[in-house]
Amino acid sequence: MFTPKYLKEGDKVGIVSTARKISAEEVQPAINQFKEWGLQVIKGKNLHAIDNQFAGTEKQRAHDLQNMINDPDIKAVFCARGGYGTVQIIDQINWAAFCRNPKWIVGYSDVTVLHSQIQRVCNTESIHAAMPINFGTSYITEEAISSLKEALFNGHTNYTFASHAYNRPGLIQAPISGGNLSILYSLLGSKSEVKSRNSILFIEDLDEYLYHIDRIMMNLERNEKLRNIKGLIVGGMNQMNDNPIPFGKSAEEIIFERTKRYKYPVCFNFPAGHIADNRAIIMGRKSLLEVGETETLFTQT
């Protein structure tokens, strides 16, 4: 797996939106933060364009992303926010320049499309982390911000957190892949399908019906995405919905039930996903996962 160059003071970074619209006011706190880190921030030409719920038309969004990955002076590209829309433009992007001159792509949620595509097409690492829409709000912790900087500038992550009742202890070292569970489900069978074999699979989700979580897990099982991994990390599973006739299990219980037949280590409540403490994960990086009886350790170097 190829590692893009780590950032240093003076580097230029870009901000684009491949999905939902975002205002100048919403993105400014992140720009201020990046400037404090010594970075020069370049906005995509169409960053604040509007086409219904999207940040411009498919053509405009693809244009911005393509320009950023083609520009050799841009060392990292931050996706401003998620929502929905990245899959609409993914097949319009020419990745040749990116493969020749890789750079960090940063984001989570809908940006899972890019993480999976980059691993498959360019065999390159990327960063699952907080996005500009989160900065300047209560929906981001100092730990999340500092973890993003540490990943970008030094390439390290090191998290220790309390164990969960559904954890399965074990120690494994393997590359990490994954992201938003619903997005991973939507990419199965496509050119952007998650590269999960012999990897630690990371999953998280927000605002899904519980029966749909079960449907997704069944689909992953039937596609052997759960059998051929080395470990499973479950991040935030928040604001789940149910029907008048209850499904009867939480999202965590569903995942536990669908994976209990396997022997690899599993950890729940990992600090990443649609939560304020959304710690950075270097996707594609060989990672150490140690799930103990009382605490879990996750390290990337």
Domain 12-154, CATH? 3.40.50.10740
| Residue ranges covered by each domain of the chain | 12-154, 157-300
Long-range contacts of range 94-101, CB-CB < 8 Å, 24 or more positions apart? 94/66, 95/69, 95/121, 95/122, 97/69, 97/70, 98/69, 98/70, 98/122, 98/124, 99/124, 101/72
Task: Give 209's DSSP letter.
Answer: B
Copy the structure tokens of residue 70. Answer: 């083609």
pLDDT tens per residue, the chain (301 residues)? Answer: 999 999 999 999 999 999 999 999 999 999 999 999 999 999 999 999 999 999 999 999 999 999 999 999 999 999 999 999 999 999 999 999 999 999 999 999 999 999 999 999 999 999 999 999 999 999 999 999 999 999 999 999 999 999 999 999 999 999 999 999 999 999 999 999 999 999 999 999 999 999 999 999 999 999 999 999 999 999 999 999 999 999 999 999 999 999 999 999 999 999 999 999 999 999 999 999 999 999 999 999 9
Cα–Cα distance, 57 to 45 (Å, whole number): 13
At the top level of CATH, the class of 157-300 is alpha beta
pTM of the predicted model, to two decimals? 0.98
Of the candidates 251, 199, 197, 202, the residue with the CA atom closest to the CA atom of residue 224: 197
Cα–Cα distance, 60 to 44 (Å, whole number): 10
Cα–Cα distance, 225 to 49 (Å, whole number): 38
Sign of the torsion formed by the C-alpha atoms of 107, 113, 117 and 120: positive
Cα–Cα distance, 250 to 230 (Å, whole number): 24
